[in-house]
Amino acid sequence: MPEGDSSDTTALAMAASQREISISEFFLKNRHLLGFDSPSKALVTTVKEAVDNALDACEEAGVLPEIYVQVSYCGDMFQVIVEDNGPGIVEKQIARIFGKLLYGSKFHKLSQSRGQQGMGISAAGMYGQLTAGKPMHIISRVAGDELASELLVSIDTSRNRPDIHRKKHVPWDRPHGTRVEIEMEGHYQKGSHSIEVYLKQTAIANPHVSLFFRDPHREEIRYSRSTTELPPHPREIKPHPHGIELGHLIQMLSNTPCRTLPLFLEQAFSRVGRKTALEIIERAGKGLSGRSFPKHIAHAQAAALHKAIGRTRISAPRTDCIVPIGEQRLLEGLHKELAAEFYTVVTRRPAVYRGNPFQVEIGIAYGHPGGVGLELDKEGHMHKKKRQTKSAAEELLAKADEPAHLLRFANWVPLLYQQAGCAITKAVIQTNWRAYGLRQSKGALPIAPMAILVHIASVWVPFTSESKEAIAAYPEIVKELKLGLQECGRRLAVHLHRGMRLQREYEKRTYIEKYLPHIGIALQEILELSDDECKHTLNKLDDILHQRRKT
Amino acid sequence: MPEGDSSDTTALAMAASQREISISEFFLKNRHLLGFDSPSKALVTTVKEAVDNALDACEEAGVLPEIYVQVSYCGDMFQVIVEDNGPGIVEKQIARIFGKLLYGSKFHKLSQSRGQQGMGISAAGMYGQLTAGKPMHIISRVAGDELASELLVSIDTSRNRPDIHRKKHVPWDRPHGTRVEIEMEGHYQKGSHSIEVYLKQTAIANPHVSLFFRDPHREEIRYSRSTTELPPHPREIKPHPHGIELGHLIQMLSNTPCRTLPLFLEQAFSRVGRKTALEIIERAGKGLSGRSFPKHIAHAQAAALHKAIGRTRISAPRTDCIVPIGEQRLLEGLHKELAAEFYTVVTRRPAVYRGNPFQVEIGIAYGHPGGVGLELDKEGHMHKKKRQTKSAAEELLAKADEPAHLLRFANWVPLLYQQAGCAITKAVIQTNWRAYGLRQSKGALPIAPMAILVHIASVWVPFTSESKEAIAAYPEIVKELKLGLQECGRRLAVHLHRGMRLQREYEKRTYIEKYLPHIGIALQEILELSDDECKHTLNKLDDILHQRRKT
């Protein structure tokens, strides 16, 4: 067979089989990318996506979130229900929000939110449709509307479009809110990758949220809010010029309605005023001026402009686009849900990766109360601590001979899966915990009865996959994480040092108490003291020794 | 502010900002998902995507691949060129293949290939466009065409469509093939995550490929093929009924042109003949029969059919859809590119995850030649081995006190990034290497002068992200990997045992050689031997001891 003929027919045959791939088909085949790789994970991911959306909507509307979650058996399948008291969804948007991948309000703006892709909840519906063969059931009511909208929606995966199977108006007892109901294959489990742990960790990072969960065995758990204050609303920002790339700049120049270059620079970017705009243009040269028309700028001019932007001093991005949990709330959350001996929290100042502001928060909870330590009471007396009864909360804290537990959060959302591939894990492993008195093998987490909580807030969190389970290791992010972990580590070292000092003192004290009676007998014999005098002397001696120990 | 009003206006405001997100916009913002998170990785990913496409095309056309790769400086930017001798691309398909994400011939069929998503090369072009602001430059010629087609193509990211900037017909010295040229921001580096390592590992797994690489410093490397035999062509298969999900079955039933249920089952699935089809239908019950019309089957009937399929014995999927590298080729590849002391290779039998056939291959190369060991020469005499000069090849093997190096492959393609998040790493860590005589900490790779090569071939490799850098840990895959690793581990243990025995013998031998002269002196004195007699006796003694050691 002559080679030419073969490759010729192949080229034609290959051309005939080239086709467009719909985004829904793609994710249906790659459903692990969206967090649906196993039946147990599918349930957790569904609850997570629905609750994240509910919380975003409530906060955007200024409503204190009350979320109801129910997972129940339904023949061979599971039924997941998530209901919120949010603002509700305008009827004509419902089908597209639930029945189309890559549709939403959060992708095109730079502002911190839990959702960012417009995929999660439609993916859950698609998984239900694939495994149980049934559409999603949605009820939503906008405040002021007399009736709620009820829809049955599925996804036409070959075209990534919603199919509406039924639409009607029904009475509903909620004045406003949304309820979504999905039937799917599932496997309900407890443990570190469970709906319960997701909800519990959500409560830690979101103390203004009330969550109610009914599990398949009809057991009910309520996580009540500990504050009625909503977190401040994150502000939407424009891109920072230092994060912009040449190709993006060229595209923006050709799409802008602005008629002059300075106006374009001022309007398209944050932190660029008239003065900075003119400075950039002057530095760029290449015939550019304050009167240049953005749409007519050539490639070489745009490249010069891009370089000039990089060389011009421009203030750091505004940071009110990010809302950290805050040291106070984080500490309260840790105290409320984790019983430990020592807590410390650090909220770093905002930093920037690729033009996107982000902020890192670290919390450490160390030591099982009543574990192995000692404590001083109010009068300064030392005791061995009493062992408390073990609660479910303690599961978040590692045992003394285990690697520390990591609680990872991104934009207030707990991350339960893919710990090994996450920038947070990388930063914890790269931190030298031995310097702070903990055991640690090379390339491993420190061994300690400890939980390390890490929160990254950003206008755009770079997740390693669409399932949003791990954060990509951008160097700027890893650096900030390590600085925060080191700060917490130093504080922990002080605590551990204090603990070790206490331990040594306790041993000395035990010796004193053991030998004091013998000293008493000796003194009594040498100084010929009466019993009362002896007792008095010993008390005085004990006090003096005790005083010295306290200073 | 009354809550109702606020949430009402919010619902309307939110509805106004809901928008569709184009897949290109999505990946532009999430470009780390496609492997473009840093300038150095961008270069490697671009070369990888272009070479993978080139190899797939050549093999499909039955052409022995000759690939030319060039990376060069181009002002502040880099220029990447990849050229192949494949079948070429029919002109009207060029723009869509390079200028549209999710477009290709490999997604919709179940057949092993390097590419599977129709995204890689367009993503590289998009990255070039974003960072350098220039379109891709493509030349392609189908055998028999008088001239080649030359196009400049970019992606309209807001609509995920190609923009053709120029199209013309040009003479080209190649009779058929494709050349792609992309300008982009980059950073050229050596080391474990380099283009060189990617090409070197490609050569190991693809001994029928010739690769030529010119780096930015104009240094040239050639990896020549060691065989002129093309691997067999993987056969395309239909889905196996045991891997099908209810929702998918329902969709297939409603889309099929078949007019009866048995015909549908036979035509849609592999391994289902008339007899099996009727058995399934009978087991399903619910009024289904050999005359049921697929499009009219209700949900409850489809669910019963789905259950019946699960309960019916059906032969395992055909396995000629998978083409492993093969033990012989793998061993040759390892020998050629890695200098080691001991090699072993295992190709497991094909297995199935979620209906998709896959096959696992493991190779181990252990010990630096001339490292710390001993060897026997042809006459059975023992020597300390000579240290060889260190070559670049040795970098693939770990040092004695380092964790073993992993060489991961999926469908003949080396995986360089995200080792921590890969099922292969998980399986290696979970294998108990201490049982085979190596050091290993809990949850870590074994410590040994060793390289572990792992290849997974499948009709659909479940990658953890679109950048195809790590494999998702489906339990069936991890299980197969561990079985293969254990087999190699046992063989390694035999080798190490032999090494340890040699070491002990060598020590004994050294003692003999050290003390033999003293024994000679003693014997000479006691037995009053002449010098010649003494020498003769000692030689005899040495021979006897030597003989005994050999048995």
Give per-residue pLDDT as tens, A195-232: 999 999 999 899 899 999 999 999 999 999 988 999 88
Whether residue A193 lies within 8 A of chain B, CB to CB, comes out as: no
| Touching A: B residues 212-251, CB under 8 Å | 245-251
pLDDT above 70 for A7: no
The ipTM assigned to this model is: 0.81
In this predicted model, which residue has the larger pLDDT, A258 or A108? A258
pLDDT band (50, 70, 90) for residue A3: very low
Q: CB of B481 within 8 A of CB of B427?
A: yes
Computed over every residue of chain B, the mean pLDDT equals 87
Mean pLDDT, residues A152-175 taken together? 94
Position B413 scores a pLDDT of 95
Distance, CA of A53 to CA of A118 (rounded, Å): 10
Q: Does B20 touch chain A (CB under 8 A)?
A: yes
pLDDT-based confidence at A441, cuts 50/70/90?
confident
End-to-end CA, chain B: 96
Q: Is the pLDDT of residue B520 over 80?
A: no
Lookup: tokens for B49: 């995507």
pLDDT of A372: 46
Top-confidence residue, A152 or A192:
A152
Most confident of B64-68, B443-447, B502-506: B64-68
pLDDT of residue B528: 75
Q: Which long-range contacts (CB under 8 A, 24 or more apart) does A512-518 make?
A: A512/A542, A512/A545, A516/A541, A516/A542
Nearest CA to A359 out of A371, A370, A368, A347 is that of A347
A4 contacts B143? CB cut-off 8 A: yes
User: Is it the case that residue B4 has pLDDT exceeding 50?
Assistant: no
The DSSP annotation for A383-423 comes to EEPPPPPP-GGGGGSPPTTSBPEEEEEETTEEE-S-GGG-H
Residues paired with residue A198 on neighbouring β-strands, in sequence order: none
Check CB contact of A74 with chain B, cutoff 8 Å: no
- Cβ neighbours for B108, distance < 8 A, ≥ 6 positions apart: A17, A19, A21
Q: How far apart are CA B250 and CA B209, in angstroms?
A: 44
Between chains, do B107 and A19 touch, taking CB under 8 Å as contact?
A: yes
CB contact under 8 A, B462 and A104: no
More confident residue, A267 or B395: A267
- A160/chain B closest Cα distance in angstroms: 11
Per CB-CB distance under 8 Å, the chain B contacts of A131 are 245-247
Delimit the domains of chain A by residue range. Answer: 23-223, 241-311, 327-498
Question: Which of B8, B21, B465 lies at the smallest CB-CB distance from A102?
Answer: B21
Q: Which residues from chain B sit within 8 angstroms of residue A102, using beta carbons?
A: 20-23, 26
Query: Is any Cβ of chain B less than 8 angstroms from the Cβ of A439?
Result: no
Residues A11 and B85 sit within 8 Å (Cβ to Cβ): no
pTM of the model: 0.83
Summary count for chain B: helices (H), strands (E) = 14, 20
Q: What is the pLDDT of residues B431-471, one digit of tens each?
A: 999 999 898 887 789 999 999 999 999 999 999 888 999 99
Q: Which residue of B has its CA nearest to A418?
A: B421
Candidates B164, B23, B13; CA nearest to B95 is B164
Q: How far is residue B120 from each of residues A314, B42, B400, B451, measured CA to CA in Å?
A: 35, 11, 37, 29
Class of domain A327-498: alpha beta
Contact B481, B452 (CB under 8 A): no
Q: Is B444 on the interface with A (CB under 8 A)?
A: yes
Interface check A3 vs B, CB under 8 A: yes
Give the integer Cα–Cα distance in Å for A354 and A350. 13
B398-415: per-residue pLDDT in tens?
887 888 999 999 999 999
Burial class (CB in 10 A: 0-12, 13-18, 19+), B230: middle
Q: Please tell me the predicted confidence (pLDDT) of residue B385.
A: 54
For residue A376, what pLDDT is reported?
57
**B414 residue type, one letter:** P
| Most confidently predicted of A380-394, B336-350, B357-371 | B336-350
Q: What is the pLDDT of residue A545?
A: 67
- For residue A209, the SS3 value is coil
- With contacts defined as CB-CB under 8 Å, which chain A residues touch B109? 17
> What DSSP character marks residue B374?
E
What pLDDT sits at residue A549? 57
Rounded Cα gap, residues B448 and B341, in angstroms: 13
Task: Answer yes or no: are the C-beta atoms of B174 and B141 closer than 8 Å.
Answer: yes
User: Can you give the pLDDT at residue A2?
Assistant: 40
Q: CATH assignment of B327-486, given 3.40.630.10, 1.10.645.10, 3.30.230.10, 3.60.130.10?
A: 3.30.230.10
What's the CATH code, domain A23-223? 3.30.565.10
- The CATH architecture annotation of domain B241-311 reads Orthogonal Bundle (1.10)
Q: What are phi and psi of A4, to 5 degrees?
A: -55, -50
Same fold, B23-223 and B241-311: no
Q: Do A26 and B96 touch (CB under 8 A)?
A: no
Cα distance from N-terminal residue to C-terminal residue, chain A: 96
CA distance to partner chain B, nearest, from residue A363 (Å):
25
Poorest-pLDDT segment among A182-191, B173-182, B341-350, B522-531: B522-531
